[in-house]
Amino acid sequence: MKITVIGHSSCIPDVGKEMACLLINGKHLIDTGWCAALKMREFGFDPLELESILITHFHQDHYLGLPQLLFYIGLRGKKEERGPLNLVGPADHLERIVKAAEDLQQIPRFPELEVKKRLVPVVPGDSFDLGDLHIDTCAANHMSGHKRQEQAIVYKVTDESGACFVCTGDTHPHPPIAEFAKGVPLLIHDGGHTPAEQAAEVAKQAGVGRLLLIHYPESAAEQKRSEARNIFPNTDLAKEGTTLEV
Ligand SMILES: [Zn+2]
Ligand SMILES: [Zn+2]
């Protein structure tokens, strides 16, 4: 399985820096960043190849790229050849956010832009197949700005080869993730909301092969890496444009 880091930044992007966003085997995207359509092009991928978009939770930095992706696919895609695009995400807001993204396309005035889609609402704990992938989920521990618990999903992705990895999405410290990620070769863990030592502790308890911190503040990157390495030596920082193989 090939996992490309399309973006690794925390919630405010900057010139050349996209927000946390991952591409699996060139055709399944986890979160949409700020403008994943262009970032995918920059790294040599084509949004027309996307079969699914999985959203970890509905904070803006994880879905604002969706309208652009739908526009790109609607404008450039050959409708008759495309199967439906799977749009996967927390059940509480999936339908509303997809509708908002479609409303921005003004489909009644530009019906040629409509992208065939299939919504897959997810509740933490769900397992399902998604094309050639198998997906397991558990809950993250993520608070909204107003101290409300956000429905946020941790995804475990397994492909046909049996390769797998876990992506936490945004999460505050949440020890149960260690049980969910038991023995996976790669854990991609939030390095912003969770202190690096605690992400490393989860990696150690889970016995994962490798830990990648993502969504970390750029200014604290090196410090976070060394703090994590004190507890779990095989830790790196996710860097956009890089591809990992598991
Ligand atoms: Zn975020
Ligand atoms: Zn968030």
Please list the rounded mean pLDDT of every run of 10 residues in the chain (246 residues). 97 87 98 96 96 97 97 87 92 97 96 95 98 97 86 97 97 97 98 97 98 95 97 98 97
Question: Smallest Cα–Cα separation from 208: which of 238, 153, 166?
Answer: 166
Tokens of 189: 């863990």
Ligand 2: centre distance to CA 193 (Å)? 9
State the total domains in the chain: 1
CATH number at residue 183: 3.60.15.10
Query: What pLDDT is recorded for position 164?
Result: 98
Distance (Å) from CA 220 to ligand 1 centroid = 16
Question: Coil, helix or strand for 13?
Answer: coil
Q: Position 56: which residue type? A: T
Note the pLDDT of residue 201.
98
What per-residue string of b and e applies to 126-161 under the rule 16 or more CB within 10 Å gives b? eeeebeebbbbbbbbbbeeeeeeebbbbbbbbbbee
DSSP H/E element including 202: helix 196-206
Residue 220, C-beta contacts closer than 8 angstroms, at least 6 positions apart: none
Phi first, then psi: give them for residue 115, nearest 5 degrees: -105, 130
CA 145 to ligand 1 center in whole angstroms: 11
Dist. CA 4–CA 20, nearest whole Å: 11
- Give the pLDDT score at 81: 76
d(Cα 24, Cα 50) in Å, to the nearest integer?
Answer: 10
CB atoms within 10 A of CB 119: 15
pLDDT at 107: 94
How far, in Å, is the centroid of ligand 1 from the Cα of 31?
10
Distance 108 CA to ligand 1 centre (A): 32
What is the reported pLDDT for 13?
A: 80
Q: Residue 63 C-alpha to ligand 1 middle, in angstroms?
A: 10
Cα–ligand 2 centroid distance for 39 (angstroms): 20
Gap from CA of 192 to ligand 1 centroid (Å): 9
The CA-CA-CA angle for residues 121, 89, 22, to 5°, reads: 150
Please write down the HEC assignment for all residues of 107-125: CCCCHHHCCCEEEEEECCC
Residues near ligand 1 ion, CB 5 Å cutoff: 11, 61, 170
For residues 222-246, one letter each, b for 16 or more C-beta atoms within 10 angstroms of the residue's C-beta and e for the rest, the string is eebbebbeebbeebebbebeeebeb
Q: What are phi and psi of 35, to 5 degrees?
A: -160, 60
Rg of the chain taking only CA atoms, in angstroms: 17
Domain range for residue 228?
A: 2-245
The ligand whose atoms approach the alpha carbon of 61 most closely is 1
What is the pLDDT at residue 93?
Answer: 97
